[in-house]
Chains A and B, each alone.
Chain A
């Protein structure tokens, strides 16, 4: 039977038995989504690529330990999440050591003269809006950022988010609420003032 016609569950079972063709198909199905998840979580393309590569390597090596093949996607995101957390902490340490972004550099530019109200953000150039949003996401805690990325960008259910983040359902909801509230405040704040 052709691999492309197999369900994800069958592909996972085959890949767990060492079938690299089946695993490749799983990679090609999930690589884009996983890359974008890692990119939005780390904020860096190269880090996101590293995370994806490590995640798929680890998944291939440990697939036989996955009890329920139907949980493959959540399991993959959990591996990637832990890797992203390591990158996040490393970046925090670098920032504490004084290697963070230059506060007078490009990072500060969008805040200098941009519209103050959330509704006016559509006036910005796409690249500028992207910088602004990336900067705002950088000011969230990892857990809040993760909840926002998984809900807003990936469209996962709260029970899936809770399983990936390893937290209770209510915590996943409150992280999203706090994250969005903070983003709203950051994106609406007066020009040049950072909360």
Chain B
């Protein structure tokens, strides 16, 4: 084995993956060649210095799903982390069921009639209501009809006003409950964000403290001391 071939095997030797069939020849060359021996020793020492200098660190904050922190904040901005993708299939299945139901109803000529406080579902072709012919009003009877129509109109307007008032009240109640619900969601989110920021602040304080110690140790070692301090 020559020096070039020997050095080609250095990565395997450092990584402890040297082919056993080549190991004998490799070791023999190292025993004979001081240059290769020295080079391999320096590379091995470099790797060992790296491992000593930069030991493994703990993760500053847990990254598991469902805990308040970075993942929760990220989920808020649309990474899809907070919702398992399987739910999308449930939504699709529900939409398909709805389409099938509507199709069936349409095929059966179904009609939904909504009355006051009740609704009816009818099937088959629509039958027009029978036309009742009335005799033309004359004299006093005309005034009576006008009065009845006026009362009918007043009652209808009154009912419409009541209906609209009720609808308005319902809409107000609904938006109030939505607002309350949203506020509680927002408050929870603000709380989670705040606790994340507090943890971040704490981590930064620790980092700053570490940096200060490092800077002072480096400064002690490399910066010249004032003459009066040296004299003392």
Contact = CB atoms under 8 A, between A and B. Distances in A.
A52 interface: yes
A184 B81 CA distance: 43
A27 B42 CA distance: 37
Interface in B180-226: 207, 210, 213-215, 217-218, 221-222
B17 interface: yes
B220 to A, nearest CB: 10
Q: How many of chain B's residues touch chain A, expressed as a range?
A: 35 or more
Given A52-B63, A53-B74, A127 B46 contact: no
Nearest to B89: A18
Given A31-B62, A61-B80, A118 B50 contact: no
A158 interface: yes
Given A39-B57, A52-B59, A61-B85, 18 more contacts: A17-B86, A23-B65, A24-B64, A31-B59, A45-B207, A52-B63, A110-B218, A113-B222, A118-B49, A122-B49, A125-B217, A130-B54, A148-B50, A158-B15, A176-B14, A180-B46, A180-B47, A187-B46
11 contacts: A18-B86, A20-B65, A31-B63, A36-B57, A45-B207, A52-B63, A53-B71, A60-B65, A127-B217, A129-B49, A131-B214
Interface stretch (A4-12, A68-76, A149-157): A149-157
Contacts of B58: 32
A177 B79 CA distance: 39
Interface residues of A, number: 57
Q: Which 10 A-B pairs give the minimum distances between C-beta atoms?
A: A133-B53, A173-B11, A18-B86, A129-B53, A24-B64, A184-B46, A18-B84, A35-B59, A127-B214, A176-B11
Interface of A: 17-18, 20, 23-24, 27-28, 31-32, 35-36, 39-40, 45, 49, 52-53, 56-57, 60-61, 106, 109-110, 112-113, 118-119, 121-122, 125-134, 137, 148, 151-153, 157-158, 173-174, 176-177, 180-181, 183-184, 187-188
B1 interface: no
Contacts of B214: 127-128, 131
B21 interface: no
A147 B52 CA distance: 18
In this complex, the member of B50, B52, B53, B57 whose beta carbon has the largest number of chain A beta carbons within 10 angstroms is B53
A137 B12 CA distance: 21
Contacts of A180: 14, 43, 46-47
B70 to A, nearest CB: 5
B52 A27 contact: no
Contacts of B74: 53, 57
